[in-house]
Amino acid sequence: MRRRTPVFALFFLAPLVGEFFLGDFALNLLPLIIVFAPMYGGAAVLIREVARRTGRGWPTMIMLGLAYGVLEEGLVTQSLVNKDYLDQHLLDPGYIPALGTAAPWVIFVATLHMVWSISVPIALVEQGSSRRTEPWLGRLGVTVAAVLMLAGGFAMWNSTRTDPSLSHGFLESPKQALVITAVALVLIVVAFLLPRPAGGRPGAVPSPWVVFATGIAGGAIFMSVTMSWLPTWAGVTAMLVAIAGTFTLVGVWSRRAAWGPWHRYAIVAGALLTYSWHTFFMHSATGLLDLASHIVYALAALGILWYVARRMRAMTPAHPAELEAVG
């Protein structure tokens, strides 16, 4: 059971970060994590295990996280094509009639899942594990994760479909479902065509503090789309600049021999804390419970980062040569 601790941690951390740290649910709704865990946690575990078992790394996991985001929002909640989802009018800004969806919402929500629902939880648990790149499950465990993801996704789809306050009776057409599935399948294929990890190249990398600042800056630019003062297509541009800029910099740095565990920690810390500050702006504290929830979730994020850093210090060898090997 102790060897499975990272699996259980990832299983519950994925929905905790993906839904609760964003500020979607107050503290009194925290038991809903049991409802979200099969879909979110099952997907995060499955993506991580498939990537590590096939000798692949972060490019593959990130692309699979994007495919997951497309499937969840396209087939499960159907927010990508339902104009009345949650009564939020999410598709009004930047709606493209020919596509039946809105570019700002597609980019925003797919990135939320790719980065925060999948990649951040995986990175946090891996950084705190002594078996960071090793598989944590056998074939049976991977199968169980896949079944949980599918069962959780079906339960969420059925709940959304039957709850008038969520879907308003909307059900996407077979053509829409087919197109969304095809897009997700293309992303999955691309994920396994991406090159395998190839670090060790010469070149300098900035300090972990600079990497952390890069994560914070990229998150701030990306999240600026939710601020009302930004015009719709300026927001789209901001999101694309943030995504392309952050991923390019980290992609270049991470291929160099000097890139190490504290650089990986720094970028995931910047991403996690982006959620922590942004929740105070995305969901206004209209009552004491809302404000208390935002504060508690932010403190929980800091606590998780502290714990992971503590684990890393305990595992990091003191000798420079060994430290380089860990990276």
pLDDT the model gives residue 284:
56
Sign of CA dihedral 64, 66, 71, 73: positive
Q: Could you please report the per-residue DSSP string of 257-325? A: TT--HHHHHHHHHHHHHHHHHHHHHHS---SHHHHHHHHHHHHHHHHHHHHHHHHHHHHS-SSHHHHHH
- 247-259 average pLDDT score: 94
Alpha helices in the chain (DSSP H): 5-15, 33-53, 58-71, 103-111, 120-127, 139-162, 164-167, 174-193, 208-223, 232-254, 261-282, 288-315, 320-326
Q: How far is CA 42 from the centre of its chain?
A: 13
Q: What is the pLDDT of residues 172-228, one digit of tens each?
A: 999 999 999 999 999 999 999 998 877 678 888 999 999 999 999 999 999 988 766
Give the three-state DSSP class for 314: helix
Give me the chain's average pLDDT, please.
91
pLDDT at 229 over 50: yes
Which of 193-197, 232-236, 320-324 is modeled with the greatest confidence? 232-236
pLDDT at 327 over 60: no
**Integer Cα distance of 59 and 194 in angstroms:** 7
Beta strands at 95-96 and 101-102: parallel, antiparallel or unpaired:
antiparallel
Tell me, what DSSP letter sits at residue 327? -
Query: Are 244 and 299 within 8 A, CB to CB?
Result: no
The model's confidence at residue 320, banded by pLDDT at 50, 70 and 90, is very low
Q: What is the pLDDT of residues 187-196, one digit of tens each?
A: 999 999 998 8
Q: Is 27 exposed, middle or buried (0-12, 13-18, 19+ CB in 10 A)?
A: middle
**Integer Cα distance of 301 and 285 in angstroms:** 18
pLDDT at 281 over 90: no
Select from 77, 45, 38 the least CA-distant residue to 64: 45
pTM of the complete model: 0.92
Tell me, what DSSP letter sits at residue 201? B
Which of 224-238, 263-277, 283-297 is modeled with the greatest confidence? 263-277
CA 297-302-304 angle, to 5 degrees, is 90
Query: Are 137 and 7 within 8 A, CB to CB?
Result: yes
Single-letter amino acid, residue 275: Y
**Integer Cα distance of 201 and 205 in angstroms:** 11
Taking the chain, what is the end-to-end CA distance rounded to the nearest angstrom? Answer: 27
* Residues 6+ away with beta carbon under 8 Å from 298: 276, 277, 279
